[in-house]
Amino acid sequence: MLRSRSLRQTASSSEALPEHADHPQPALSSEKPNGSCRVSLIRAPPAVKTPNWSCRRILRYLLASLFLVSCWLSFPRLLKVLGPNSVEVASQSAQPILQVFSDLKHRISSAKFAASPPVASSMQQHSPDQQYHGALEPERPKVTKDSPPLRWPPMITAVPEVPPSSDATRVGVTNSAIDSQFCSGGQQCRILLPLWIGEQESRGRMHLTQLVQLAASLNRTFVLPNVGKSRLGTCGKWSFEAYYNTGSIAKQLKEVSGGTGRVMLMDDFRTWLDMRPDSPSGQMVFFQEDLSLTPEGTLLASDEGLSLFVDHAPLQLADGRLKNAYCMKTKYRGLSLNEYHPLSLYLTAPDPIFPAATASGDVLSSLLKQSYTAQQSLENTSAAISEPDVLVVHWDLRHMPFTPTSPLPALEYSEKLWQMARRLTSAHGPYLAVHWRMETVEPAVLPDCAEALVDTLSTLLADPTLAAGVRTVWLATDVPWSGSTAAADALVRSPAQRSNTFKAFTDDHFEAIAIVKAAFASEGPLEAWRLTGLGEQIQRLRMANKADDMVLAHEDDLGMLWEDSGIWGILDKTAAMDSALFVSGARGCGRVRCVEFYYYPSFHD
C-alpha cells in the first residue's frame, strides 16, 4: 500500500514557525540576530531523479555497450589484415575495453536499482504559515545484519485477489430476500440435498427418482446432485448435466408434485449458502438397510420394516458414515449441522412373500414431517420447534420404497452423450448389441456362458428377417478388451475403468472374451460379421476428429470426462438403445437388461 509521507523540517520542533505567510529570506549577514528576531534557514529541495532519468541513463549505457561489442567482434578481421604479430597488440588493447565493460556493468546495476520517488496516495494540506522544509523521502524498512537482502520499493507483479468478506457481501441483505431469489413463491427455502446414493449409475438413476418423490412429499426444493465415476452425490466431480438431461428430471418432479416441485443446480445451492446472511441449518438423514450400522442413539419409532433413531449429539464431519462425502469439510462449511442431531432410518429389504411388511415412502415422509421428530433432534431443547432449512440425505438403500401411482417420465441422458453415441455407431448401419456384465457372475462359468452367447448369435444372425442388413455386433461389457482384429492374447486394459467397483479380473474373464472374439475370426462361425466395441470406436473418432469435436460437456475442455467410468457405461447403454437387435445376459451368466427397442431372449448356459 502506498503511504503519505510527512514533511521533514529543519527547524527544531520546539521553535515556533514565523508568523508571516511569505517564505522568509535566508540571513546574509554574519551578525548574531537579536532576541526579537528569529531566522529560519530554508534548504532548497534536492533534485529528484525521476524514472525517466534512470531510463535515459540506462539507454545511453546500452548504446555504448553495443558500440563496444561491435568493435570487439570486428577484431578477428583486423588480426587477419595486420598479420600474426598483431595478436600481442590486440591482447594489450583489449585490456582497456574489458575495464570499460566492467565499469558499465557497475553503472547499469546502480542505475537499475536507483530508488524511484515515492508517490503519495493523497497529499497533505498545509496552512499558509507552514513552510516546506524538504523533499518527500521513501520510508525504507529497517535492515539488520541478519536480514535478507531487500528491494525497495518492492516489485509488484500482480494484484492479490482477496475474497469478499461475509460482512461486505451481506450488508443490508436479509435471509428472506436471498431465499426469494432461489426458491419460488417468495417463501423460505426448504431444500433436500442428496449427499450420496449408494447404487451405481444404472440403478442410481432409479434411486434418484425415489429422492425426487421424497422431496415432493416433503415440499422441498430438490438439489440436482453432481456425478462422477458412475456415482451420484454432492461430492461428484462433474455437474448433473454431464450425465443427464436436466429438463427430464424437472418433468419427473412436476409429475409427482402436481406441478409445484422445484429443482436447483448444485452451483446455485452453493451460491445460496454463500449469500445468505445467516448460515442455513441442516440435518443429516441416513437411509440404510444394514442394521449392523445402528448408531448409539434414541429409538424414536419402530414398526415392521422400519426403525427411526436420533443421535445423541450433532454430526461430526469425522463421522465414519461420511466416508463417501469427503467434500462436506471443504465445500459446504456454510451449512450449519450443529442445530439438529442426525436421524437414521433403517428399512428392511422387501419380503417376497409379505411385501407389505416393508415401510412405504408415505410412512417415511410422514415421520420426517412430524414435529415430534424435529423436537427430539434439536440440540437446543428450549428453542422453538421448526424444520431444518436443508435436509441432507445419505441414501444407501437397494429397494424402492416409493411407488408412483402412474408411470413417470424417464430420466434421460444428456443430449451430448446421445450425439456422441450416434457418432460412434453411425458407421455400422443397423447392428446388433450385446450387453454382458460379468461382475456378479461366478468366474468359473464364464467360458460356458461365452459358448452359449456364440450359439445365440449364430442362430439370430442367420435369420434373414430379424437380421436383415445387420453386419456388425457391438459388445458392451465391463471387462476391458481390445479390437476385433487383435489376437486373443493381446487383451489390454482400456484407458478408463468400465466399472468403478469391478477391478479384479481373472483368466476366466479373459478366456470368455477370447472365445467370443475367436467366433468372429477367420473360419469362425461368425466370420461374416464384424465384432466391435466402445474402446475401438472411440479410438477411431479420436484419430479422425479434432479435440474440440470430442468434448462431452461445456465444463470439460481438457477431455477428462473420457476417463470417467460412468461415461463409458452410459455410451454403451445408449449404443444398445440405438441398436436394431439387442441381446442381454441371462441369469447365471450376467445381469439381465432390456431396452426400449426390439428385444431378443437372453442367452443362457
Within a domain: 95 = yes
Compute φ and ψ for 68, nearest 5 degrees.
Answer: -65, -35
**Among residues 580, 583, 581, 579, which one has the least CA distance to residue 603?**
583
How many domains in the chain?
3
**Among residues 508, 503, 505, 567, which one has the least CA distance to residue 535?**
567
Within a domain: 150 = no
Burial pattern 59-70, b for ≥16 Cβ within 10 A else e, equals: eebeeeeeeeee
Q: Which residues have C-beta within 8 Å of that of residue 43, sequence separation ≥ 6?
A: 10, 133, 134
Whether residue 331 sits in one domain with residue 459: no
Whether residue 342 sits in one domain with residue 261: yes
Within a domain: 488 = yes
For residue 259, the model assigns a pLDDT of: 81
Whether residue 289 sits in one domain with residue 208: yes
- Domain-ending residue, one of 112, 128, 145: 112
Within a domain: 1 = no
Within a domain: 525 = yes
pTM of the model: 0.68
For residue 302, the model assigns a pLDDT of: 86
For residue 26, the model assigns a pLDDT of: 41
Low-confidence ranges of the chain (pLDDT < 50): 1-44, 87, 89-90, 112-138, 162, 164, 168, 354, 356-357, 484-496, 595-605
Q: Is 488 left (phi over 0), alpha (psi -120 to 50) or beta?
A: alpha
Alpha helical stretches, state H, 258-395: 266-275, 361-369, 371-377
Contact 211, 194 (CB under 8 A): yes
For residue 303, the model assigns a pLDDT of: 78
For residue 41, the model assigns a pLDDT of: 40
258: domain CATH number is: 3.40.50
Whether residue 203 sits in one domain with residue 103: no
Within a domain: 33 = no
176: its cell numbers = 428472506
Burial pattern 19-39, b for ≥16 Cβ within 10 A else e, equals: eeeeeeeeeeeeeeeeeeeee
**Among residues 602, 596, 475, which one has the least CA distance to residue 533?**
475
Strand partners, 476: 435
Whether residue 577 sits in one domain with residue 482: yes
Whether residue 245 sits in one domain with residue 355: yes
Within a domain: 250 = yes
Whether residue 547 sits in one domain with residue 507: yes
Whether residue 488 sits in one domain with residue 552: yes
Helices (H) and strands (E) in the chain, counts: 15, 15
For residue 107, the model assigns a pLDDT of: 59
Within a domain: 20 = no
Q: Which residues have C-beta within 8 Å of that of residue 136, sequence separation ≥ 6?
A: 5, 7, 117, 118, 120
Q: Which structural domain, as residue segments, surrounds residue 88? A: 51-112
Cα(479)–Cα(494) distance, integer angstroms: 9
Whether residue 468 sits in one domain with residue 378: no
Whether residue 239 sits in one domain with residue 195: yes
* Element holding 501 (H helix, E strand): none
- Domain-ending residue, one of 66, 81, 112: 112
Whether residue 433 sits in one domain with residue 380: no
**Among residues 288, 209, 227, 290, which one has the least CA distance to residue 500?**
227
Whether residue 492 sits in one domain with residue 372: no
- Domain-ending residue, one of 85, 112, 139: 112
